[in-house]
Amino acid sequence: MRSATITRKTAETDITVTVTLDGTGQYDNRTGVGFFDHMLDQLARHALIDMKVRAEGDLHIDDHHTVEDVGIAIGQALAQAMGDKRGIRRYGACHLPMDDAQIRAALDLSGRSYLIWNVDFPTAKIGSFDTELVREFFQAFSAHGGITLHMDKLHGFNSHHIAEAAFKAVAHALRDALEIDPRKVGAIPSTKGTL
């Protein structure tokens, strides 16, 4: 079973993340940030990754440290659970529509982190959640997961729909990339022989 648990404790946050890559999309996420929990639930459910997140952060300041550090911990857990990445498809992409919004996500589980972010939001907040934190999450997630991630908003005027489509698009791309390729079971998906 490809799974991992990461604990990250700083002066700003105390986080434990458990992921099981070959799951069914079960989730139990509690960060103290309601909208963010909703997005993490979408990530788990649509990637078919079982995920449990417990986070206590300095929410009396704002949500920034909690969201960023959860991104770091999930990225680290994902990288650890993948191991040497033997047999995975490695690449995934998704064009995901959600009402007015359409997001394109493409990723490579290359071990080389890189984020291209062409997603803008028409509002600064979704409820009390700062929309700029969506990018902060994916920056931390890609950097610590060793993921090349390209994100583009093709359409959208509702900030909630744009954010949710982004998380779901990444989830579907991740699901494809993490799948074991039946034609290459046991092989590293690179001519280098390592990822």
Q: What is the CATH number of the domain that holds 120?
A: 3.30.230.40
* Total number of domains constituting the chain: 1
Beta-strand ranges (E) seen in the chain are 3-9, 13-20, 27-30, 50-57, 91-98, 101-108, 114-118, 125-126, 129-130, 148-155
Within a domain: residue 39?
yes
What are the residue ranges of helices labelled H in 115-158? Answer: 132-145
Domain range for 155 is 3-178
**Interval 121-170: pLDDT, tens:** 999 999 999 999 999 999 999 999 999 999 999 999 999 999 999 999 99
Give residue 135's pLDDT.
98
**Interval 100-121: pLDDT, tens:** 999 999 999 999 999 999 999 9
**Interval 56-89: pLDDT, tens:** 999 999 999 999 999 999 999 999 999 999 999 9
Which tokens sit at 54? 């417990």
Within a domain: residue 21?
yes
Within a domain: residue 43?
yes
Distance separating alpha carbons of residues 15 and 8, to the nearest angstrom = 5
Give residue 1's pLDDT.
85
Within a domain: residue 106?
yes
Question: Which residues partner with 107 through β-bridges?
Answer: 92, 149
pTM: 0.97
Within a domain: residue 195?
no
Contact 68, 57 (CB under 8 A): no
